[in-house]
Structure 1
């Protein structure tokens, strides 16, 4: 079925869409869950084309993302997908999200596929280079113990609600974009606790922005299950910080997913990174949630 996909020398076209206003966040930027959804759509289309069956969310258990250029309403985008033929990610799939009629690079993802890729065109080294990991390792996450505060107490766990039928795919598996949405809400709540509040955003005209992200999907939940999430700052630099979020099934304690995000604090007017605020740095250190450079 791959012959039904538009093909170039180095990729096949696997998805296309347009940015809708209701999909944009307060920065007027396409919300991250829709990048995640687009790459998952591309993954499922590839899996269906190569196997004749759609595995849904299980087309991959791990995906690593990098963000290169913002998408705004009503820009168009398309995804081109290819096989990585050489290097440490040989046998993985590269997805490139391109925007506008001049195909500017907006985002990339590399995934470890659960479907055959031998018949896919191979990408070039130049196409792969922007997608390679910079600040986060491109390897499936292992469940780890969340850090504790200086008094040895466990960090607060956020309840993120109940998985609804609209959150799962046709196999009753949590959808990747639903997972991203859950983590986004938890991240807002967590960073608010550290001082990155709506008031501070409005007063400073700054906000956080993810530039690199990785997801591991473990399963462990379906429609009707309730979820909680453990969040902490796992790395802290002068102009970046990394958050880790582990989603667990509330009833069984089974791991559902892990997300890591490398974030910058961005001046919303200049669209340039600024130094991580002192209050966030101090809050992270006070709670043992990351070490400064």
Structure 2
């Protein structure tokens, strides 16, 4: 296998959030660009392997302002999907693994036999570091409606509009844009729990995601307005899971679902802290049924 570096980049100060590290929307944006480069270098296209069904990201170590980063990409046949593309993001100065992304595809039956010989030069065994841990690998349910999501306990926490500057090369809103919307929505979900803004500020804590899975259902284009409905799903130990649902506002069609494993981080020690007992109980009460 020839491993290609598909991205050379740098963490700008304006890309860092209130936790003083690279915001998740910019991780997804970097992976999106690395994937475009990988597709060009490898000859990968939707015509061969179908549309990407899911992008599953794990955050391993923080990236902070001024850090150099690179992404290397390869394909794997031993991953959790019929065809998996793996992206590994590293701190280019230290070599430390910062984040991983796996993209899941289900090639049409007619193309399946050609996958190995066609991509033999970019195939490798999938790294265990990239394997899903807190979330299942399979795409989220694409048949949900806003009505049954709200009836299950989710609440609307964001509304937005797609502008021309939000579009990718294919004329559709890309991962970085929808992650930015989900990122702005999530504090409103935390606010429903005892781990609200006042609690986090008083204790010097921050909201942190350690794993995310993005499932696209339909595209967003210029002028489309959308709404996000979100809620916790479960809680265990130091982490809890959230689910964000994005719907196009006019037709109420499902656009995307983002599953998130979250925790509380001490901003001084940069370590995870235990969820307060009262928070565990309240999260369980408001979790989606």
Give yes or no for TM over 0.5.
yes
User: Aligned pair 1:46/2:38, yes or no?
Assistant: yes
The TM-score with structure 1 as length reference comes to 0.85
Task: Quote the Cα distance in structure 1 between the aligned partners of 2:190 and 2:70.
Answer: 32
Pick one of 137, 146, 149 that aligns with 2:149.
146
User: Aligned pair 1:25/2:24, yes or no?
Assistant: no
State the Cα distance separating 1:142 from its structure 2 match. 1.0
**Aligned in 2, Cα 1:80/1:114: closer, same or farther, shift over 3 Å?**
farther
State the Cα distance separating 1:138 from its structure 2 match. 1.2
Q: What SS is found at the alignment partner of 1:33? A: helix
State the Cα distance separating 1:169 from its structure 2 match. 1.4
Q: Which residue is 2:103 aligned to?
A: 111
State the Cα distance separating 1:54 from its structure 2 match. 10
Task: Quote the Cα distance in structure 1 between the aligned partners of 2:38 and 2:98.
Answer: 20
Unaligned runs of 5+ in 1: 1-8
Unaligned runs of 5+ in 2: 108-114
Pick one of 46, 52, 61 that aligns with 2:53.
61
Q: Which residue is 1:243 aligned to?
A: 242
**Matched positions, count:** 274
After alignment, is 133-142 or 189-198 more displaced?
189-198
Q: Which residue is 2:92 aligned to?
A: 100
Deviations 1:233-271 (A, max 9, x none): 111112100000010001011111000010111111122
State the Cα distance separating 1:276 from its structure 2 match. 1.4
Q: Is the 8 A contact 1:65 1:110 kept in 2?
A: yes
Q: Which residue is 2:122 aligned to?
A: 121
Task: Quote the Cα distance in structure 2 between the aligned partners of 1:105 and 1:119.
Answer: 25
RMSD: 2.5
State the Cα distance separating 1:50 from its structure 2 match. 3.7
Q: What SS is found at the alignment partner of 1:41? A: helix
Task: Quote the Cα distance in structure 1 between the aligned partners of 2:9 and 2:43.
Answer: 24
User: Aligned pair 1:83/2:90, yes or no?
Assistant: no
State the Cα distance separating 1:171 from its structure 2 match. 2.6
The TM-score with structure 2 as length reference comes to 0.86
**Aligned in 2, Cα 1:177/1:51: closer, same or farther, shift over 3 Å?**
same
State the Cα distance separating 1:99 from its structure 2 match. 0.6
User: Aligned pair 1:273/2:272, yes or no?
Assistant: yes
